[in-house]
Structure 1
Amino acid sequence: MSESIFSSLTGDEELNFSEETEVFVFPTSFAQQRLWFLDQLASGNPFYNVSTALCLKGSLNFTALKQTFNEIVRRHETLRTTFVMVQQPVQAIAPSLSIPLPLIDIRDFDQESETEVRRIATAEAQHPFNLTTGPLLRVKLLQVDEAEYVLLLNLHHIVADGWSIGVLIRELGVLYKAFVEDNRCPMSTLLPELPIQYADFAQWQREWLQAVGANGCSPLQTQLAYWQKQLDGISVLNLPTDRVRPAVPTYRGAKQFLELPHSLTQALETLSYQEDVTLFMTMLAAFQTLLYRYTQQEDIVVGSAIANRNRSELEGLIGFFVNSLVLRSDLSGNPTFQELLNRVREVTLGAYSHQDLPFEKLVEELHPERDLSRHPLFQVVFSLQNTPIEALELPGLKLSLFDFDNKIAKLDLEFHLWRDLETLKGEVVYSTDLFDQSTITRMLGHFQILLESIVVNPKQCISDLALLTEKERQQLLIDWNDTKKSYPDNKCFHQLFEAQVKQTPDATALVFGNQQITYKELNIRSNQLAHYLQKIGVETETLVGICVERTPEMIIGLLGILKAGGAYLPLDPSYPQERLDFMLEDAQVSVLLTQEKLLDNFTEFSNPIICIDRDWTTITQYSSENPNSYVTLENLAYIIYTSGSTGQPKGILIEHRGLSNLAADQIEVFNLQPSNRILQFASLSFDASIFEIVMALQIGATLYLANKEWLLPGKALLQLLREKAITHITLPPALLAVLPIESLPALQTIICAGESCSEDIIKRWWSPSRKFFNAYGLTEATVWSTVAEIKSVSAKPPIGRPIANTEIYILDKHLQPVPIGISGELYIAGDGLARGYLNRPELTGKKFIPNPFNGKKGARLYKTGDLARYRTDGNIEFLERVDNQVKIRGFRIELSEIETVINQHNNVEKAIVIAQGNLYDRKHLVAYIVSKSPQEQTIIELRQFLKEKLPEYMITKSFCNSGFSAVNG
């Protein structure tokens, strides 16, 4: 070691060394200290092994090669270093060390020799080092043929970095030649003695950072101030993964290689020159654009290694000098790529001018939230080596790199590029905890497409740059949306029912308790009601309110309204008076159909009211023949009110076309038969009810109705399913999660819908003897839009593919289709789309937008607010909401509607409502409030207040005051 290191580097006072002993002890560098602590956390791990393999062809002098490595070890103290604990970790440098060079002969493997080389190379790369005992360099020679060898070099990162491998190989060339030729010249004439050693640098680094300059600040303070400002509010990159991130990573990895065409490489270099940036800056901006398109995040953070050898004395050293820079770019405002390049240039130059602060010290000072599953500050890295790799020749030997996969990944994703003689090449190292091989292959394809788009037009906004191949666009936009099918004779649902009546007039249509009604009887009663409704003015587009308890009269009323040509608006008798009044007024209901005992709910309603029970004698005087109504598929069928974000519920207008499409596809998907027995579970106020009604009555099956008490998730429901031999049920996951499991041999088909279905639900209810479907849909698209038949118990169930005459698009916020595996917002198009929202033209225009993928006039997309992604097989996976809408027990709830109502209370200053729990512990609503008066009294008032304004399913179960102490309901 040189005792004048600080003179050569800083001009400050010289370092005083202790007297020579068997082992020299010196402080670690900051980087070494961090790796030592990481090794303590996961002792014996290979995560920080630096591995290289060289193919040697020709006549090899084994003795000279062994002498070469021992001379390199003599020259570089870091290769004789181990690490011990003396109050803190320190470097222990042995005065001498002999490195063994085992030779393994694998010539007998013949054609499989390369496979064996890769196996051994991988095993060596994964073999851990012991930092305490060393040595931290391993060399192994494999003989593949008479004149072909593979040299395996393995070092622990704590004593070497990527630059060090280059130093080692250069010295290998010089020294091997000298030993082969028996050159007796002093080694110092071939390779000058090193002016300093790594231990000198480590101690200088610590002292230099603390030294106070003329401005009264130390380099540590100056650089730290920059980075604290630069990284304030840094965000985590939510890169889409194929699997859930494990709590503790395994560090298992894989790699893939890429090579850009010569023409593209030249075009990128030309663009860099024209924009006055380095090629690294251009490639970094492109990589961050790729991450932006994958995540839709505008704050993109990438790690990048820098050699950190900005002093000549350090260039020829083997050691751990490399530093990690945190490159944080702002991609907000959808800039052009040209504009982004300027931002990246500024960020990169700023980082370069503050590169001396060790990354380890930065992490220590910033105190990022501790998370063992993620690397601190960044999860992906990007690098570019601009210097072309030179071919190295030794006496009688030709050297080349032997590529192999060490199957280790320290981070989520690493992009490493280098400038070869003709092109840009690179490798991508990725965590197999998170990503599949096919995902990375697609990513590399997207990166190249993106680069090609950039060089063609760098003035394009980054959202518009091409990302997908033509084949991918064809698959995502066209092939997977090829769902066109015709309806049977273009009939409305009630006409399909009438056709079924002709085929099976005596079949049982409805069962309610001990009461049974045939198809013929049901048709006659609904016809009589329809004629009566027409007599009092009901025609196409006339809105008829229906408030009837769950009895056969509910089905008769619904069919009668549709047959008359009108559209029905369900009014749940359990709704608060204020909500019923609002719906009647907002929808301008022309006629109300109800029961005599429910009349008290409608004392303020001034239009005609029909009591289906009280007035039935009069109704039966009308014709029993099918009425003429002139209804077409474009006419309104029903309006369903759902929770609204503005504080008021909103009505959704559904046309007959959607119902007819639903009816046709149900038969095919569920293989419906007249022998089926279908449970009518959902309230008429939810569109799942029409799903069940249509399923039964279009095919000649039997629809089973029951009082609300029989439909609660427990013994009563199980008894109903068992005694009535129900074959088809449509239930929300929340109910399936708590419903006791019974064999139910008659149950053929379970349709899970209304909210996200979990793997546990599948495990509870899937059976080889029955079919299990996971359906997805929204009221705005006629009940359902996609469906998946679950054929095995495996990972999270998908929501499947689009149903007939339905298209699904998964798009980013700029309406660009996202690749397979990447999350985006789900948009629905096709025949099931609603007409829009009643009396809400602005909301309709915001949610039902022109379809950019369909040139047909008036084609629309519905913006669902749901995040989803395509799987490789074309199935769609539901992820989450983009807003604060939730589903509880299948009910769709806008939390802001509840908050609006709570905030109307005189004693409430502010309220926030959240959903807590899961399917198994009864997901429920909790309100956090700041009250103006004593908390207990306010909550008593609030409970009554909410009951007067909101349906039962929207009332919060518990309230918490500003101190977050819960008061249960």
Structure 2
Amino acid sequence: MRAVVDSYLLTPIQQGMLFPPLQGANVGVDVEQMVGNLPEAVDVEVLRHAWQRIADQHPILRTRFKWTGADEPLQEVVDSIEVALDVHDLGGLSPEEQEARLASFMTDDRRRGFDLAVAPMWRITLFRLGDTRQRFVFTYHHSLLDISVVWVVEEAFQTYDAALRGEVAPLEQRRPFRDHVEWLHEHLRTDRDAAQAYYRQLLAGDDEPISLVALERGAPTGVADSIDAADVVYGHDRFPLGADLSGAMHAFAQSYRVGPPVLIETAWALVLAAFSGSTDIVFGSTRGCRRTGLPGSDRTIGLFINTPPVRVVIDPAATVADLLGAVRAQQVEKRAHEHTALTDIQAVSDVHGAPLFETICVINELHQGTRLKLVGPAFEHREFDLHDQTNFPLTLLAFTDPLIHCKLSYDPRRFDAESIGRVRDLFIAVLEAIVAAPDAPVGSLPRVSARERELLAAWNSTGRDFPGAATLPELFEAQVDRTPDATALVVQSQRLTYRELDRRANAVAATLRGLGVGPDSMVGVFMDRSVEMVVSLLGILKAGGAYVPMDPAYPAVRIAMMLEDSHADVVLTERRLRDAVPDTVPHVVTVDQFDGRAEDRAPLAAAAALSSNHLAYVIFTSGSTGRPKGVMIEHRNVVNFLTAMDDVLGHDATQAPGVWLAVTSISFDISVLELFWTLTRGFTLVLQQDDSRLTDGSTAGSSRGDAAVSAMQFSLFYFAADATSVAGDRYRLLLEGAKFADANGFSAIWT
């Protein structure tokens, strides 16, 4: 049995890494793998002895955790461990098969994890790929090591190289990790009040973590959560910033005394702002925490890092230089309190019941492989790389080598490769813009990447010629002149030709003109679906006015509000609904009393003086977010929409138009397509009546809760949920759905 030779408390960040595995959560998180490509023959036994010597030298490599039977979790150092080197010979496989086996191992090795109660919490594996080709993997739990993993690998291979020469490599005498732990707990105790005051002020008013839902997968709720944590392998997007941008960032640092870490944190904040829609950004930033500890901390092997929050408040009017200065100032101010535990920071924040942040930024001065190459000639041809996985859904890892390179690590349950590609592209674009124009306003920086701007331009390249000066009455009358005797409107047994519909609308228009209706006058339409309703809409437009739908089924208070806000002095209705129109309306016209009266249009055209910039209709919103608001639509907007629908619906003016079933209430915009696109293209419009609506004079404009229901009625719901897919023939699908609804007794179609 191994003897315990020392024990001491865990650091706060070690405690944070201890508890998730105990709960069975975050499988593979905080398991790190330093991978080395070794272009050399390897003496397995000599290499194993080298690692044994390093384990004997450094207590942190003989550490285990104890959390039962103690007031607080402890880390225990045992007197010895036996290092095993697991060797796999893949020399007989093709290069493709070798890489597949290695990839499978890396995943399984991470999932295997460690029993944190057993030392060592690390292992080494060697894969023989050829006589002079080896792959070495040092797998360890992150609670043991941070950047100091480089020194462990350096010492182990220096010991190995020396042993091959028959020599013994000298090992640096380093300050033990225990000293740091004791200092840290005392520092946290004495700094607690000052640290809490600092972070309370830093985070004041930030009561909600930023949302990255705009980046997340479109899976239905619960699908991502159903994936077993053991099956999750984090995705990675590695990318260099390129020689030009890297050089510009390093030159910027010399000129403006703002180093790459400030540039990277600022750019990351701006990227998060673009995708979250917020200008108040909080994310975590990992700090080395070695310069503010005991002397010798910069060479101690162990885990020093901490990830306190960074808060960046973005003012679009401020200059880029101002924003960089604010981020730099916060970095310096935080130095005195950078060891503060994240749990203590969250305790003084205004965010409750949720993590303070879900994304972190980790910036290293040099890549681990770069550091090792600087050790000496023996390392020049060895290639080392670190594979890691944090417990945050999205992590930016950056190495500020002469050629700066980055890695985005992400939870595939939340994000996919395409979304992360958007993050990468925007991050690069923002960095390029920052170093190019530090005196520019922040608001001028890109919020989408160049590739996305090109895509948006292509999507929005919908320009086409349309009769921008035309009005709806002009387009309708032109159709009347083309097909005067064709059937324009069918409502049950009633039929009107285009000429008849035009002349009846002229009669309504003449009456309205006599009441003072002209361009931009708003006229209420308080009617059920009927011939008279279509005649009224056209009559209002011909008079120069804008119609305001007022559904007789609406509560009286809503009708009153619509009248108040629209200032409609005229309301068109039917005799049986007349008494439901509020008495405050100066002019109430019952259109069904016209008894088919018709007039020519000639005298009206000059009188209306209507242009495409005048209002065509005003539709009120539902009021779900407050008082309903009237949305004002001009003739040019409608004409533009109708022209666009020619392309969407494949309208061919040389072909017979056909028949269109209009099912939508005029209180919704889609009715404009059903009524006016059809009547300006020569269709026969069949207007569906709502026979189930009870709208006699005694109930119109009031609650319908007392209406008797004789049988349960069913509706068909049309939901266009394919916004991210290739657009199909949605309107034709809607029409086919309407046919199905008619044939099968559905009472309504909702879109």
The normalised TM-score by structure 1 is 0.63
Aligned to 1:476: 456
Which residue type is aligned with residue 199 of structure 2? W
1:355 pairs with 2:338:
yes
The match for 1:238 is 211
After superposition, the Cα gap between the structure-2 partners of 1:21 and 1:173, relative to the gap in structure 1 and judged at 3 Å, is closer
Q: Which structure exhibits the higher relative contact order, with contacts defined as CA atoms closer than 8 Å and separated by 6 or more residues?
A: 2
Aligned-partner residue type, residue 659 of structure 1 = V
1:552 to 516, 531, 546: 531
Whether 2:191 is the aligned partner of 1:219: answer yes
For the residues of structure 2 that align with 1:650 and 1:178, how far apart are their CA atoms?
A: 81
Distance 1:136 1:703, change over 3 A: same
Q: CA deviation at 1:497?
A: 6.4
Paired position in structure 2 for 1:492:
472
Q: What's the counterpart of residue 448 of structure 1? A: 428
Aligned-partner SS, 1:613: helix
Equivalent in 214, 223, 236 of residue 255 of structure 1: 236
Unaligned 5+ segments in structure 1 are 1-19, 211-217, 713-737, 743-749, 774-888, 891-918, 920-969
- For 1:844-887, what per-residue CA distance to the aligned partner results, in whole angstroms no more than 9, with x for missing partners? xxxxxxxxxxxxxxxxxxxxxxxxxxxxxxxxxxxxxxxxxxxx
User: What residue number does 1:411 align with?
Assistant: 392
Cα deviation for residue 414 of structure 1 reads 1.9
- The DSSP-based 3-state class of the residue aligned with 2:432 is helix
Match of 1:634 among 612, 629, 652: 612
1:548-627 matches, cutoff 5 A: 548-573=527-552, 593-600=572-579, 601=581, 605-606=585-586, 610-616=589-595, 619-620=597-598, 622-623=599-600
Q: Alpha-carbon deviations, 1:793-813, whole Å to 9, x = none?
A: xxxxxxxxxxxxxxxxxxxxx
Aligned equivalents of 1:104 and 1:127: distance in 2? 17
Kindly indicate whether residue 114 of structure 2 is the aligned counterpart of residue 136 of structure 1: no
Q: Matched residues in 2 for 1:768 and 1:623: separation?
A: 39
Shift of 1:156: 0.7
Secondary structure of the residue aligned to 1:481 is coil
Q: Which residue of 1 aligns with 2:106?
A: 121
1:147 alignment counterpart: 132
Partner of 2:635: 656
> Contact 2:521 / 2:546 at 8 angstroms: preserved in 1?
yes
Partner deviation per Cα, 1:576-623 (whole Å, 9 max, x = no partner): 77776776677665765443444443655556x543333437x35x45
The answer to whether the 8 Å contact 2:469/2:612 transfers is no
Work out whether 1:691 is the aligned partner of 2:673: yes
Q: Partner letter of residue 541 of structure 2? A: L
Amino acid at match of 2:105: I
- Give the match for residue 27 of structure 2: 45
Match of 1:279 among 260, 269, 275: 260
CA contact (8 A) 2:183 2:294 kept: no
Q: Which amino acid aligns with 2:616?
A: Y
Deviation at 1:331, TM superposition (A): 2.4
Please tell me the residue identity of whatever aligns with 1:241. L
Distance 1:459 1:151 in 2: 48
Cα distance between partner residues in 2 of 1:71 and 1:279: 38
Give the alignment of 1:878-889 within 5 angstroms.
none
Name the structure 1 match of 2:155: 171
Q: Which residue in 2 is equivalent to 1:786?
A: none
What corresponds to 2:661 in structure 1? 678
**What is the match of residue 740 of structure 1?**
714
Mapped to 1, the partners of 2:569 and 2:27 lie a distance apart of: 75
SS in 2 for 1:614: helix
> Can you list the C-alpha shifts for 1:697-719, whole angstroms capped at 9, x where unaligned?
3442332232462599xxxxxxx
Opposite residue 359 of structure 2, the aligned amino acid is: Q
Residue aligning to 2:325 = 342
Q: Bigger CA drift: 489-498 or 651-660?
A: 489-498
SS of 1:324's equivalent in the other structure is coil
Deviation at residue 336 of structure 1 after TM alignment: 1.0
CA-CA distance at 1:67 after TM superposition: 0.7
Distance 2:693 2:643 in 1: 30
Inter-partner Cα distance in structure 2 for 1:669 and 1:739: 33
- Match of residue 158, structure 1, among 111, 136, 143: 143
Deviation at 1:633, TM superposition (A): 5.4
Q: How does 1:562-961 map to 2 (within 5 A)?
A: 562-573=541-552, 593-600=572-579, 601=581, 605-606=585-586, 610-616=589-595, 619-620=597-598, 622-623=599-600, 628=605, 634=612, 636=614, 638-642=616-620, 652-670=631-649, 674-682=657-665, 684-698=666-680, 699-707=682-690, 709-710=692-693, 740=714, 771-772=733-734
- Conserved in 2, the CA contact under 8 Å of 1:504 and 1:700? no
- Deviation of 1:80 after TM superposition, in Å, equals 1.9
Residue equivalent to 1:228: 200
The one-letter code sitting in structure 2 at the alignment partner of 1:140 is: T
Output one character per residue of 1:168-211: Cα deviation in whole Å (capped at 9) or x when no partner.
Answer: 1221233113321222x6x7xx1145453x3454345335544x
Q: CA 1:243–1:599 in structure 2 vs 1: closer, same or farther (change >3 Å)?
A: same
Q: What is the aligned partner in structure 2 of residue 937 from structure 1?
A: none
Q: How big is the shift at 1:59?
A: 3.5
Aligned to 2:743: none
Describe the SS at the equivalent of 1:433: coil
CA shift in 2, pair 1:681/1:770, >3 Å? closer
Q: How far 1:150 sits from its partner (Å)?
A: 1.3
Give the match for residue 314 of structure 2: 331
Structure having the higher strand fraction is: 1
* CA–CA separation in structure 2 for the residues paired with 1:256 and 1:267: 23
Q: Alignment partner of 2:22: what SS?
A: helix
What amino acid sits opposite 2:733 in the alignment?
K
What is the distance in 2 between the residues matched to 1:38 and 1:304? 21
Change (3 A) 1:272 1:544: same
| Corresponding residue number in structure 2 for 1:75 | 57
Tell me, in whole angstroms, the C-alpha distance in 2 between the residues paired with 1:31 and 1:409: 13
SS in 2 for 1:86: coil
Aligned residue type for 2:305: V
Deviation at 1:569, TM superposition (A): 4.1
Report what 2:742 is aligned to: none
1:550-588 deviation digits (Å, cap 9, x = unpaired): 322111222233345554444545567777677667766
Instruction: Report the CA distance between 1:343 and its aligned residue.
Output: 1.3
CA-to-aligned-CA distance 1:493-514 (integer Å, 9 cap, x gap): 56436626854835472224x5
SS in 1 for 2:382: strand
Contact 1:640 1:685 in 2 (8 A): no
- Contact 1:641 1:649 (C-alpha < 8 Å) held by counterparts: no
SS at match of 1:108: coil
TM-score, normalised to structure 2's length? 0.80
Query: Per-residue deviation at 1:624?
Result: 9.0
8 Å CA contact 2:54–2:152 kept in 1: the answer is: yes
Pick closer, same or farther for the CA change 1:328–1:267 going to 2, 3 Å.
same
Q: 2:216·2:415 contact (CA, 8 Å) conserved in 1?
A: yes
Identity percentage over the alignment? 22
Question: Would the alpha carbon gap of residues 590 and 328 (structure 1) be closer, same or farther in structure 2, given more than 3 Å must change?
Answer: closer
Q: 1:147: Cα distance to partner?
A: 0.9
Write 1 or 2 for the structure with the bigger share of helix. Answer: 2
CA shift for structure 1 position 140: 0.5
CA RMSD of superposed structures (Å): 4.2
Report Cα offsets for 1:135-160 as digits up to 9, x if no partner.
31110111122111111010011222
